[in-house]
Amino acid sequence: MDKFVRIYSGGELVKGPNGVEFGDLSEQGIWFKAAPTYSELIDAVYKKLGLEPATHNVRAQGRTNVGGGAHRHFIMVPIDDDMSWSNYVKAVFNGTDWNCLEVYVQTEELPSAEPVSPEPALLDSEPLDAQHQNTPPRDPELGASLFAPSMVTANAPTVHPQHSWLRRIRSARARAGIRGQVAGEEVQSGQYQCGASGTVDTTSCLLIGLYDEVHRARALAAGQHLTELNPRNREPLRFDKRYERYLRPAGLMGLANICRAGLPSIDRALVSALVDRWRPETHTFHMPCGEITITLQDVAMILGLPISGHAVIVNKTESYIELYQRYLGKAPPSDKSRPGLRVAWVRAEFNKCPEDADEETVKQHARAYILSLVGGLLFPDASGDRYTVYPFPLIADLENIGSYSWGSATLAYLYRAMCDACRRQSDQSNLTGCLLLLQFWSWERFPIGRPDMLKPKFPNVDELEDDRDRPTVGLRWVVGACTYRSAPARCYEHFTNEFDLLTDDQVVWSPYRDDRVKTLHLAPICTQDSHLWLTQAPLVFFFMVEVYTPERVMRQFGLHQECPPPFRDTSVELHWCCRGKVRSDWADKHKSFVDMWEVKEQHVIMEERPYDHANYMDYLRWYRRSTRIRLCTPRISNGHQDGASVRTATADDEDSLRASKLRYTPRAHLIHSVTDKLTILAKEAASQKGCSRGECSAFIERVTRTCVELVGELGGSSLCDIAAAVPDSTTIAAEQGSEGQRDTEDELNNSMVPDQENESGPVREKRTRFQVDRTQVDSTVHSRSPSKRRRGGPAPR
């Protein structure tokens, strides 16, 4: 079927229950003698549509299914070169039951008066940060380790995928006359460039890619109401002290101690708000104050998991039933409905180790306990009633469990879980991954949703039998007397709103300072692999391969942040690689990535420059125009536009009904609106120096109108008090002609100003208001008048 392509054209795509649909578009089929290349496809499209390359430009997008099993969800992927076409064909015919090449084409007529700009000229028109992002990746053998999707196949294409991304951006800017070249244009028109607005075009945002079509952040920014994600994790089996001899060499003692102290409940509202800001394109959270992510340092410090060691992947050589029988002493009832080991069966058979158990029975129970740790907390199954059994062949060999990098595998699994969950918008969508790590990490970094820790009760390290039994950073969140703050019902809207308002000084960028680590007396495993925290080797867990990007969050390590960070594609093709039917050859399929992990020491970033705040501000300016940082939209409209009420009785009833059902009213969109408008006024005020009287009067009118708008947006309760005192535009225009004469009279005879005490109330209030406005303008623009009006005095008659 790779020789037949369906072409759709002549209209716009529509969004249906299963993603993108073609609707009433014109459909035509094209047969090829052999699998076509990209150029052959485009030539055939031109011929089929009766167009000429000299007069028309053709843009192509392919439709593919990213759903799983019976659930189908279609998205569009751009096709603009041989590599993107090749990847699209592979995605359609590899691991999906929707084996049909469907291409949507859009045509546009080229202007006849102006020639099409060549690629070098367009590159020169790009900002420096975009040109830097367009730099192709270096050879991994030269120590760069910036791998691209081409590494999935043996034949690596030479074109970097970011080229096509920027090419689309350039063509869009060229067609629009280089739209948005001034950073403040969107702000001045009342729209933030990448803010919370459904009308904002994010195609010019370099950090927003193909995943945005179904991303939760896009839905929230468009005003869609989403529900919280449903977290999936399982408490482990009952701990037995006889298991310690196997847990210590495995590097799992820190996790076991946290579980023994009592696991906290997962705050689904908090983790859902975090996932909304996760971007699969960069594997980072896009916060208003910059990118931030969970790193190998966090995994080691919070959970005490080993980072060094082999990749957690192996080719299965025998069936799981045989493995269960050999290493657990018994096998579960046959169940071929879904892969995994039933939690209920494991608990019934291995929850408590007999007191008089022999050594082999203790080993069997220890394996079951480790499986409950690994399969229930680190790699939880989405079903909620089964343990992930992929790692069981590695767990079976108790002597060699510690030879694997469980920390990197945990991070890979969490990355993939968030990449999947951030694109789920239906009710009761699941969230897997190590949510204990995600929640502890959030508590360490952000004040949002963090419980108050009254007095941590760490164990006395002098009484411990082994240094490996010392606590990890995560233990302090379960041994202390923690109380939750009284957030407004701890609701999802509240956390989304708070993350929208997160500022730089609210983030704990370096929670693992040396002085703090010494006072906690942490286990050696927390810091023994610190030399690997900045590696750029891929993270591997059986069928999952995830790109690790510490170069994007160097501030978390107290180091210099390059601006913009080097781009490394997180690979759409790798994200499509899911377990499907249980395979046994994942080690062979991902051999190239496993080999890169085995030499992870060679891919460590060598950066010695310390963090520089001025440099980070440069990065932040680039970052804020490269992504979406505002998700909150008005839940309740106040109906105020330019000081006038445009509400209807129906709107009032609907808003009142919605307000009665809200647990929390987000205010982030109001604060963003106020700050944007005040920023515009501040810039305009700075430019008023030396302006004419008429320009100053016009500026005063804009200030007055903006203040009225802000009062209405922030509450509107005092709007009736100032509406009568604010003249309309015609009144101000009529007074502008006589205003200059009044000022001249005031300068000539300042002593003739009437006494304020003799003025009536309303008149005095009106005069005083205008006097204050004029005084502020005069002080701002540094009026050149030799005689200035006395502060606090009324305006002249």
Quick one: pLDDT at residue 7?
Answer: 93
DSSP E strands, 270-411: 278-279, 284-287, 290-292, 341-342, 386-387
Name which of 414, 471, 453, 458 is nearest 437 in CA terms: 414
Quick one: pLDDT at residue 78?
Answer: 84
Q: How far is CA 136 from CA 144, 147, 393, 715, in A?
A: 11, 10, 40, 51
DSSP E strands, 488-589: 539-541, 544-546
- Cβ atoms within 10 Å, residue 701: 18
Angle between helices 435-445 and 296-303 (to 10 degrees): 100
Beta bridge partners, 312, equal 541
pLDDT band of residue 140 (cuts 50, 70, 90) is very low
pLDDT at 34 over 70: yes
In whole angstroms, what is the distance from residue 244 CA to residue 250 CA? 10
What is the CA angle 109-110-116, rounded to 5?
A: 160
Residues 6+ apart with CB under 8 A from 473: 301, 302, 440, 444, 511, 512, 520, 522, 526
Summarize the confidence of residues 324-337 as an average pLDDT. 86
In whole angstroms, what is the distance from residue 396 CA to residue 314 CA? 13
Quick one: pLDDT at residue 717?
Answer: 41
Least confident residue range of 304-318, 452-466, 660-674: 660-674
Burial group, residue 420, by CB count within 10 angstroms (0-12, 13-18, 19+): buried
- Quick check: 557 and 534 in contact, CB under 8 A? yes
Quick one: pLDDT at residue 204?
Answer: 54
Least confident residue range of 356-365, 462-471, 585-594, 734-743: 734-743
- Quick check: 658 and 635 in contact, CB under 8 A? yes
Please give the residue that has the higher pLDDT: either 675 or 320: 320
In whole angstroms, what is the distance from residue 153 CA to residue 592 CA? 9
pLDDT tens digits, residue range 395-434?
999 999 999 999 999 999 999 999 999 999 988 899 999 9
Domains of the chain: 4-109 (3.10.20.90), 232-602 (no CATH), 667-719 (no CATH)
- Quick check: 699 and 684 in contact, CB under 8 A? yes
The pTM for the full model equals 0.65
Name which of 294, 302, 295 is nearest 533 in CA terms: 295
pLDDT tens digits, residue range 730-762?
444 444 444 444 444 444 334 333 343 333 344
CA 720 distance to own-chain centroid? 41
- Quick check: 205 and 627 in contact, CB under 8 A? yes
Quick one: pLDDT at residue 726?
Answer: 54
Least confident residue range of 146-160, 221-235, 514-528: 146-160
Least confident residue range of 113-122, 215-224, 478-487, 776-785: 113-122
CA-CA-CA-CA torsion sign (681, 685, 691, 697):
positive
Quick one: pLDDT at residue 309?
Answer: 94
